[in-house]
Structure 1
Amino acid sequence: MTDTKTKIAAGLEQAFAARGFAEPSVEDLRDAAGVSLRTLYKYTPSRADMVLAALEHRHERYLSHLFNDLPKAQEAVLDVLFERVGAWMATETSHGCLFHGAVAADPGSEGLRALLARHKAEVARRAAAATGLAGREIDLLLILEGLTQAWSLHRDTAVTSAKRLGHGLRMNSAA
């Protein structure tokens, strides 16, 4: 990504995360991106392109947040992943998954549905590989998604519960 494209995507991501997908005007999005309207439209010619750019940026940041510098011991990785999801929720969004929010705002968008599916599949695949739980991607995804949705109500207790479920999954997989 070029510096300008990254700057635009980062600003759009923050605007949509803070205000949802319907509320910000194009002028608000331009201001959030920190570029002229002409430059905004050069890189993202439509509102749909703006949403996709924001979510692609979010996808990369989320993967980095979760999976960079994980412990070497696979047994420790589960707890770290769940703690990182809790930290993400505390600092990035306390009201659920931005990808699901985008699809809810535009349920007919095949592009958004495809991005949501790709994002969740990659998170699940990488979590399974990092934890040594290959073949349990859907189980891990359900725990991660449950944590994301429950965090706004239960915060640290949700993280603790996710850890307990993860340990149960590991024990069940070893048997």
Structure 2
Amino acid sequence: MNAIELKIAAGLERAFAENGFAEPSVEDLRDAAGVSLRTLYKYAPSRDVMVRTALEHRHRRYIAHVFDDLPGDADAAVSAILDRVAGWMRREATHGCLFHAAVAAAPHDPTLRALLQSHKAEVARRAAAVTGQAGRDVDMTLIIEGLTQSWPLYGDAAVVSARRLSLALRQCA
């Protein structure tokens, strides 16, 4: 991704995260991307492509935030993952998951459903692998998704609960 594509993707992600998928006009998205309308359309020729671009950028940032430089110890890795997810929710996703919001805004769009599924599957697979729970992807999905979906309601109490659940999972393995 070149510098202009990165600038556009970051701006689109920010605009959709702050304003949802229905509200921002193309002019709002252009302003958020910090480029001309012509340049925006050159790299993202439709609103659908703009949404996908934003979600793909979000995915890369989330994966790096949660999984880069984790401790080698499985227990410490679980703790770090949950702390990082909570930090992400606190700073980046106070209204909930952007992928779920995109699918909610366009429930019949198979491309958005595929992006949601791919994102969640990669998060679960990586979390299970680095925490010594390989093959327990569904369990890790429930814990991490439970945290992200509960965050807007319970905040740090959701992290405490996710820690308890991850400990119970490791103990029964």
TM-score normalised per structure 1: 0.98
1:14 maps to amino acid: R
Range with bigger deviation, 17-26 or 104-113: 104-113
1:58 maps to amino acid: R
Which residue of structure 1 aligns with residue 134 of structure 2? Answer: 134
Query: Where does structure 2 lack aligned partners over 5 or more consecutive residues?
Result: none
2:99 is the alignment partner of 1:99:
yes
Within 5 Å, which residues of 2 pair with 1:64-83?
A: 64-83=64-83
Query: Where does structure 1 lack aligned partners over 5 or more consecutive residues?
Result: none
Please report how far the alpha carbon of residue 138 of structure 1 lies from its aligned counterpart in structure 2 after TM superposition: 0.5
Which residue of structure 2 aligns with residue 17 of structure 1? Answer: 17
SS in 2 for 1:85: helix
Structure 2 CA distance, aligned partners of 1:2 and 1:94?
A: 29
Which residue of structure 1 aligns with residue 111 of structure 2? Answer: 111
Range with bigger deviation, 15-24 or 70-79: 70-79
Structure 1 CA distance, aligned partners of 2:157 and 2:46?
A: 41
Within 5 Å, which residues of 2 pair with 1:1-175?
A: 1-173=1-173
Q: How many residues align?
A: 173
Range with bigger deviation, 69-78 or 51-60: 69-78
Please report how far the alpha carbon of residue 170 of structure 1 lies from its aligned counterpart in structure 2 after TM superposition: 0.3
Structure 1 CA distance, aligned partners of 2:121 and 2:149?
A: 17
2:53 maps to amino acid: A
Structure 1 CA distance, aligned partners of 2:145 and 2:134?
A: 18
Identity across matched positions, percent: 64
Please report how far the alpha carbon of residue 69 of structure 1 lies from its aligned counterpart in structure 2 after TM superposition: 0.9
1:16 maps to amino acid: F
Give the CA RMSD over aligned residues.
0.6
What do the CA deviations read for 1:15-63 (whole angstroms, capped 9, x no partner)? 0000000000000000000000000000000000000000000000000
SS in 1 for 2:45: coil
Please report how far the alpha carbon of residue 110 of structure 1 lies from its aligned counterpart in structure 2 after TM superposition: 1.0
Structure 2 CA distance, aligned partners of 1:160 and 1:79?
A: 10
TM-score normalised per structure 2: 0.99
SS in 2 for 1:8: helix
Please report how far the alpha carbon of residue 135 of structure 1 lies from its aligned counterpart in structure 2 after TM superposition: 1.1
Structure 1 CA distance, aligned partners of 2:66 and 2:139?
A: 17
SS in 1 for 2:35: coil
Runs of 4+ with deviation above 3 angstroms? none
